[in-house]
A and B are shown apart, each in its own frame.
Chain A
Amino acid sequence: MEAYWMKKLFLAAAGVLSAALLVTGCGKKAASKGTEMVIENGAEPQSIDPTQIQGNVEQRINAALFEGLVTTDPKTCVAVPAVAESWDRSADGSVITFHLRKTTWSDGTPVTAQTFVDSWLYFMAPSTAAVYAYMPAMVIKGAADYNAGKADAGKVGLRAIDDYTLEVTLVGPVPYAVDMMTHYSFDPLPMHAIKKFGKAWIKPENFVGNGPFVLESWVPQQKVTVVPNEKYWNKQNVFLSRITFLPIDDMTTAYNKYKNGEVDWNATDTFPFDMLNEVKLRDDYQVYPNLASYYLEFNLNNKTLKDVRVRKALTESLDTKELVEKVTQGGQLATGAFVPQMAGYTPADGVKFDVVDAKKLLAEAGYPDGKGFPKLTYIYNTSEQHKKIAEWTQQQWKKNLGIDMDLQNMEWATFLAKRQANDFEIARDGWIGDYQDPSNFLELLKSDSGNNDGRYNNPDYDALLEKASKMPAGTERMQVLRDAETMMLDRDAAVIPMYIYVTQNLIDLDKWEGWYPNTLDLHPYTGLKLKK
């Protein structure tokens, strides 16, 4: 009897095992010869469809599969020709004419000026509900109304003059427009494939792209692999025979895999503290100032925080240099400014660390030595890094001003919901720039910005940004933007700039050629190869 049942059980177990093996697929294509690169890509991508993506994880895959009119220079991140060979601007800067090269999709269909018109209209169409549609909608004339469903496509400033000439009319001179177009929200889309396959067009068997690589496979939670696109116009500069993107959330696992030589490029960013001291000493640790800012938001509707003297006191009492040296320790920059350093722009000086003045201001506001100061709560999303920063801040305020602050952590979605609903007193915040222009950061605090969670509302500030948006590129415009930043920080202390982030990558540059640390952490795959 037992033997009979044991046998049955065993057979059942074996059956489950072999069925599972069949489902997961053991028969794989043999790897083609050449250089393969394995990238530790952070997390499982949400999508491969350019209309549905947001974030660095998706960007790294997108850069392999699609190419816009322009792409980023691997060192400086400014726009360099891609599908567009060249472009010129009208005298007032508000019309850009792109001259496209003759390129095709991976299935041989030509990529024309009309392709871009159709793609961008599709991207911004209300029914597509692309989260990043606000980027093209922000700069292309008539696009904002079209994106909001208030105007039809005919009103959008896009025109295919001929097959290979595209005219884009902007809302104004928008000096950063071409740099912005390196972003994936300006990708061409294979409309013919979308029409044919519907939502399934991004499946490997249907996939059509115009980037240096095409999608080979995607096994959820395991890997995304791409192989060279034979139809790519610049394929002589593609040296990798395959790229494998691994989704690894756990930092320790990712680092172990890298250390063991199973991964070529660890792109997960932000190493946990216990690991950082070891990582920092490695020759293959690539650190670079990032176009990203870590800051604290004040709720400006709060009775206590409405008083600019209180906000200034809270800001002046924090020695952020100590924060980056003793707490974050990853090479972050405590500049005191909200906007990161970028070409042509010198960020505002910001409020300086000055405990004496801070105490004086707090006394003037009615809280001498912190007496009578209400207990406020500082909220942050659960993470070791944010926790340490919050604790440091809490302790500084206690030591320098004599005030008590409560700290409260919450998981991401709850935190976002609270912060966006303006239901907080002090909250951490961060912004990673999408393109190199100070307005990308300063616009966050405009009174009508959807990201202005603290509800900073200063008509003078709004007016300065409005003015800058109509100005052509140049030092004058940058000065107006700097004035705005100075007003927001020095006069109004609307936020506390904590530090400028750094990008942290692990890749052996003695082994790989064509990879450079840069401010946007964007790394094109063309030109990337093993050193001889």
Chain B
Amino acid sequence: MGKFIVKRLLELIPTMFVIVTLSFFMIRLAPGGPFSSERKVSPEIMANLQHKYHMDEPLGMQYLRYLGDMLHGDLGPSFKNKDFTVNQLIGASMPNSLILGVTALAIAVLFGISFGLLSAVCQNTWVDYTTMSAASIGLSVPLFVVGPVAVLVFALRLRWLPTSGWINGRQGWKTIIMPAMTLALPYFSSIARLTRASVLETLRSDYIRTARAKGLKNSVVMVKHVLRGALLPVVSYLGPAFAGIVTGSVVIEQIFLVPGIGNFFVKSALNRDYTLILGTVVVYSAILVVMNLIVDVLYGILDPRISYE
């Protein structure tokens, strides 16, 4: 197992290298640049601006400079958020995205597995139908609809929660409820459906029949044998889901004013903030690659048939 992890970690290096290289050159292809401005600046000032950020050097040279700095852990200065470096911006926003993501995922997993299991056990009853219909709605209604509706109901009408904001602001932890619930919704739905399907499949397998034949109690069979087998697909879903939930909360961040990294991801591209785009891409890809690795490792632990030796 240790060998496998080391090997996978080593594979990370060329993967990241390819991602950074492709991104670096691709963003330069977009028209305009970080200094695009409606008020056109004089050629002299433009030249000075370019010089200040080493943009007057040949592209290859800029690329090598970027790689060199990156290897030292320096993602460079931001072109648009001029008072901060990319490291500072990501350092300030990433924890917020993580807090939101982890909370949302916890909600999704907790309720998703519970309701999935319930649906499977009560297959083809009203419990099953209700849960699965709710899950279908959760999957099909986009977040930019669910979010504003939630604000309208819980903040503006019922006045239970603040419309937006973040946990270290005036309204404290209450601000995380709506964004986390909204963000959790599609993941809850997927997990519930996945759990239901795989529990049903596991229930029909031979080793469960054997366990039952041995005279084990139903609850023991369910928790110890069924759930463990049934959770495999859920676990493999969780890796990409975690990456998705952390990186894909842009809409939620906008609606609920969560100061996360997703905002930077979108705005840096529109602003042609080259260094910030690359910085977010690096962080996002690192999360994706690492999450996939963790899933593979968990797989080995949960499924005795899989071996990495």
Residues of A within 8 A of B (CB): 1-2, 5, 13, 16-17, 19-21, 23-26, 28, 44, 46-49, 52, 54, 126-134, 147-149, 199, 202-203, 218-223, 246, 248-250, 252-253, 256-257, 259-260, 262, 411-414, 416-418, 420, 450-451
Contact = CB atoms under 8 A, between A and B. Distances in A.
Given A28-B168, A219-B92, 15 more contacts: A1-B301, A5-B298, A49-B83, A131-B45, A132-B39, A202-B83, A218-B83, A219-B168, A220-B92, A222-B169, A248-B257, A250-B254, A256-B163, A413-B30, A451-B39
A195 B99 CA distance: 39
A335 to B, nearest CB: 22
B130 interface: no
A16 B287 CA distance: 14
B114 interface: no
Interface of B: 30-33, 36-42, 44-45, 48-49, 51-52, 80-84, 88-89, 91-93, 95-96, 98-99, 102-103, 106, 148, 151, 155-156, 159, 162-169, 228, 254-257, 259-260, 263-264, 267, 270-272, 298, 301
Nearest to B223: A2
Nearest to B254: A250
Given A412-B270, A413-B270, A131 B163 contact: no
A129 B91 CA distance: 28
A5 B299 CA distance: 12
A262 B37 contact: no
Given A256-B156, A260-B155, A48 B40 contact: no
A126 B32 contact: no
Contact of B44 (A46, A132, A148, A418): A148
Given A44-B81, A54-B37, A16 B98 contact: yes
5 smallest CB-CB distances across A and B, nearest first, come from A413-B32, A20-B95, A450-B40, A221-B259, A129-B48
B81 A46 contact: yes
A455 B33 CA distance: 22
A222 B259 CA distance: 6
21 contacts: A16-B98, A24-B95, A46-B81, A49-B83, A128-B48, A147-B42, A148-B42, A219-B259, A222-B169, A222-B257, A252-B148, A253-B163, A253-B254, A257-B163, A259-B156, A262-B163, A411-B270, A413-B33, A414-B31, A414-B32, A417-B31
Contacts of A49: 82-83
Given A256-B163, A257-B163, A417-B32, A220 B82 contact: no
A257 B83 contact: no
Contacts of A16: 98, 102
A197 B224 CA distance: 62
A52 B82 contact: yes
Nearest to A419: B38
A48 B82 CA distance: 9
Nearest to A220: B92
B270 to A, nearest CB: 6
Contacts of B38: 416, 451
Contact of A260 (B49, B102, B163, B263): B163
Contact of B80 (A13, A46, A48): A46
Contacts of B168: 24-26, 28, 219, 222
